[in-house]
Amino acid sequence: MGGALGRVVRSGVGRRRVQTVVIAIATMMAVASAVVAGSLIVASNAPFDHAFAQQHGAHLTVQFDRARASTEQLAATGEEAGVTASAGPYPATTIKPVDAGGGHLPTLTLVGRSGPQADVDDLDLKSGRWAAKPGEIVLNSSFSGPNLGLGSTLRTSDAADSPTLTIVGFALSVSRTADVWTTPAQARALASKEAPLTNQMLYRFDSAATEKELTANRERLGAAVPSGALLGSQSYLETKRDADEGAAPTIPFLIAFGVLGIVMSVIIVSSVTSGAVGSSLRRIGILKAIGFTPREVVRAYVAQALIPAAVGIALGVVLGNLLAVPLLDDTEQAYGAATLGVTWWVDIVVPAAGLLVVGLAALVPALRAGRLSTVEAIAVGRAPRTGRGQWAHRAAGRLPLPRAVTYGLASPFAHPVRTAAMLLAVAFGTVAATFAVGLTASLTAVGAAADPEERAAVTVFGGGGPGTGPGGPVRQEGAGRSEAPAADPERIRAAVEAQEGTASYYAMTRNDATVAGVTGSVPVALYQGDSRAGSYEMISGHWLDGAGQTVVGSGFLERTGTEIGDTVRVTYEGDTRTLRIVGEAFDTSDGGMAIHGNTADFPSAQPRMFLVEVKPGVSPAEYAAKLADAVRPLGGDAMANAPSEQDNFIIVLESMAALLTLMLVSVAGLGVLNSVVLDTRERVHDLGVCKALGMSPRQTVSLVLASVAGIGVLGGLIGVPAGFALHGFVLPVMGHAAGTELPPSVLDVYVPWQLLLLGLAGVAIAMLGALLPAGWAARVRTATALRTE
């Protein structure tokens, strides 16, 4: 009987070719979406920690004075107690590059290295190659974009005789040890009096989990070299904090899509396989009549489901890995992490779980069929039980619609379990589409609300800003802060006002202040003039409109336990003022701890930056170039504002949402396709009778489409509110992960016509899934349909 059992399995798989293909495709898409969802969820788990371990990131990035510490002395610091690995010394300097279009980039840290590999900070070369000769550089991959690609050139400054550098590669340093890499000889050649050459050393320690431990390690390094040789250092904890804050908002988003994908995969696989077995009850009865035991029948039909499903699962794993690559590339950009790939155990767990789901889904109806008597199994046959859903036919018959349509509307009630699975698939697809539309609109609103200073057409700098390193603040030994000489703000203001094309402007300065009750310094931004053009989106309260006021972020309110209307004592450069909190701003910088006030409250505050709007028709780039010529002799500079990195981050999330939604909607459509194929094949004899009575092919299509129309409408009615609710839940969680509440402009993004169209998306999913079997039903000949059993 073993050979006979094998022939039954092969015959069943080969005979039901359409059903076999549907099972394979449905499971392939379901498994592919599960692989992608699982990979993204895994990637969202401590991405910085994984990348830091993979790249052997630097716990400390330290700058040394070349004149006070020799190369041998620096190399010897790698043998100090507690140091587990070191790299360097690398020659380091800074450049103020200008791109081919004349646009100014921020000051970049340039380091000379002979290659990307090292015991510490093993760089991830994303594209291109390493710099091998003079004039070649490798740029940090965060700068990669339409205007900066392989082969692009940068001048080291806006001076006419400044060297030109060609980008030959893009690399990522999870430790953010530099912005630009080149050969050691080129780094030494680019140093100047304004940007002197230093030596960079990178260290890993056996104890570096806290700032206290890193401070102790830093002090040991300083004691190992001549006094004053250690110029400054950068802790990986600052970089980790920034990376975690950037990654945290995406985790709820990924989990939401991941759960949707995995749940839908289970629903589709279960409904496909159980429907395939359930539609074969009559054949099962025949097998039992010719001598097959109940156990053999169960084994045969579970195997018939497992064979195409196994093929689909194998293809799904391959497809999922291929689809995961661009999404994980986007995730790398979002997290600033090293190369991410599909975790090996995801490729094992997902197909194993898929086979288990298929096996269980096939086993339940197969066991039921095995327990049926031979006569009962044959009697059940190809069609639903007699009388099931008759009430629906009677109710639909009273509707003022064509008979073919009412017949189709009532058909789903004959298979309530199959209909429920199809309804869930449509509902989940609509949930995904609704959530994705809302998420995209919210992310667009976040991009518009973030960094309001960058909304200005031109930024004029007056000097005196705090020094920064490639990853953020660099701790300076001794002096505390490194500052450039500040230009006279009144002369800068006069130049702005005199420049042709100026429409309006306001001034501001950034520095640190202390707030009573808050440990350590707090970033403060002070404004002069009408700053409404640079105001943050308000979560509650209002923006600054007079002296004695301050606007703070959600993080400040949470940490200090204050609320709008309370007062805080702020000390800025020796001046202490009591300010009243008048608003809660959507400001996530510095953990939401930054405060905003007026220069009028602090006489010592001098504007260091002017944000300018130009008149209509005036080119910001040309305006900035002309103004720069006027303010540089005064010690200032001017530049037209370019799109921020946050915009790129939002584009990454939106593209991820679009691809994930497309996958989920495709899986939902395949679930509908499978169910309609089963229904159509089971009712082919009934369709033959209807055709014999005069039903036209167009009416046949109407019948099949009507059978899913009600499910599409109901799926939309369920899915749209569920997607709306999911958006309302996930977005605040994303905000809390970023340390802020969200303003109404970010949360209230749906408009009534969008919700109506999204409701119709359920109908569209159902109709698209039913089109193929509807066309087959319309083409089948009457005689063929009447003979089919």
Interval 406-424 mean pLDDT: 74
pLDDT at 471 over 60: no
Lowest mean pLDDT of 93-97, 304-308, 544-548, 641-645, name the range: 641-645
Of 249 and 677, the structure prediction assigns the larger pLDDT to 677
Of 390 and 223, more confident: 223
Q: Cα(355)–Cα(357) distance, rounded to whole angstroms?
A: 5
User: CA–CA separation, 362 vs 208, rounded Å?
Assistant: 54
Residue 127: pLDDT over 50:
yes
Of the candidate ranges 588-602, 627-641, 658-672, the one whose mean pLDDT is the lowest: 658-672
116 cis-preceded (ω within 30 degrees of 0): no
Percent of residues, the chain, with pLDDT higher than 70: 76
pLDDT beyond 70 at 190: yes
pLDDT-derived band at 380 (thresholds 50, 70, 90) equals low
How far is 337 from 357, CA to CA, in rounded Å?
34
Torsion angle defined by CA atoms of residues 155, 158, 162 and 167, in that order, rounded to the nearest 10 degrees = 0
Position 89 scores a pLDDT of: 92
- What are 690-746's pLDDT values in tens digits? 767 777 778 777 777 878 888 888 888 998 999 899 888 888 887 776 667 788 888
Which phi-psi region, left, alpha or beta, contains residue 176 (left: φ > 0; alpha: ψ -120 to 50)? Answer: left
Tell me which residue of 477, 478, 468, 429 sits closest to 663, measured CA to CA: 429
Lowest mean pLDDT among 97-106, 273-282, 741-750: 273-282
Which carries the bigger pLDDT value, residue 613 or residue 34?
613
**For residue 548, is pLDDT > 50?**
yes
Count of C-beta atoms within a 10 Å radius of residue 360: 14
Strand locations in 18-150 (E): 60-64, 83-95, 98-99, 108-112, 124-128, 136-140
Cα angle 368, 384, 403 (rounded to 5 degrees) comes to 165
State the Cα–Cα distance between residues 324 and 319, nearest whole angstrom.
Answer: 8
Are 783 and 692 in contact, with CB atoms under 8 Å apart?
no
Q: Between 705 and 92, whose confidence is greater? A: 92
> Is the distance from CB of 727 to CB of 438 less than 8 angstroms?
yes
pLDDT on residue 478: 38
Instruction: Examine the pLDDT at 39 and tell me if it is beyond 80.
Output: no
- Using DSSP's 3-state secondary structure scheme, residue 643 falls into coil
pLDDT at 532: 84
DSSP, res 483: B
Rounded to whole angstroms, the Cα distance separating 413 from 766 reads 16
Q: Which helix (H) or strand (E) holds 511?
A: strand 502-515
Q: Is the predicted pLDDT of residue 595 greater than 70, yes or no?
A: yes
pLDDT for residue 646: 46
- Per residue, what are the HEC states of 391-407? HHHHHHHCCCCCHHHHH
Q: Work out the average pLDDT over 175-187.
A: 90
**486 is written with which tokens?**
């500040």
H and E: helices and strands count for the chain: 24, 22
In this prediction, residue 551 has a pLDDT band, given cuts at 50, 70 and 90, of very high
Please tell me the predicted confidence (pLDDT) of residue 475. 42
SS (H, E, C) 551-618: EEEHHHHHHHCCCCCCEEEEEECCEEEEEEEEEEECCCHHHHCCEEEEHHHCCCCCCCEEEEEECCCC
Q: Above 60 in pLDDT, residue 473?
A: no
Measured over the CA atoms of residue 554, residue 557, residue 563 and residue 568, the dihedral's sign is negative
Tokens 């459509």 label which residue?
A: 669
Give SS3 for 46: coil
Q: How far is CA 658 from CA 257, 432, 665, in A?
A: 11, 10, 11
Enclosing H/E stretch for 535: none
Whether residue 112 has pLDDT greater than 90: yes
pLDDT (0 to 100) of residue 467: 37
Residue 637 has, within 13 A of its CA and on its CB side, a CA count of 16
- Between these two residues, 545 and 376, which has the higher pLDDT value? 545
Q: 305 by DSSP, 3-state: which?
A: helix
Q: Do 123 and 116 form a contact (C-beta atoms < 8 A)?
A: yes
Which residues on adjacent β-strands are paired with residue 60? 203, 235
Model pLDDT, residue 356: 85
What DSSP string runs through 354-394?
Answer: HHHHHHHHHHHHHHHHHHS-HHHHHHHTTSPPTTTTHHHHH
Q: Cα separation of 734 and 741, whole Å?
A: 9
What's the average model confidence in pLDDT over 445-457? Answer: 75
> What's residue 7's pLDDT?
64
Determine the average pLDDT of the residues in 642-658.
Answer: 61
Q: Average pLDDT of 774-782?
A: 73
Mean pLDDT of all residues in 263-282: 66
Interval 236-272: pLDDT, tens: 887 777 666 655 666 676 667 667 666 766 776 666 6
User: 3-class secondary structure for 686-738?
Assistant: HHHHHHHCCCCHHHHHHHHHHHHHHHHHHHHHHHHHHHHHHHHHHHHHHHHHC
Give the closest residue to 233 by CA, choosing from 443, 45, 61.
61
Q: What does the pLDDT read at residue 183?
A: 93
Rounded to 10 deg, the angle between the 294-335 and 2-15 helix axes is 50
Whether residue 711 contacts residue 426, with contact meaning beta carbons closer than 8 Å, is answered with: yes
What is the predicted pLDDT for the residue at 204?
93
Span 391-400, average pLDDT: 65
Choose among 107, 743, 753, 59: nearest CA to 437. 753
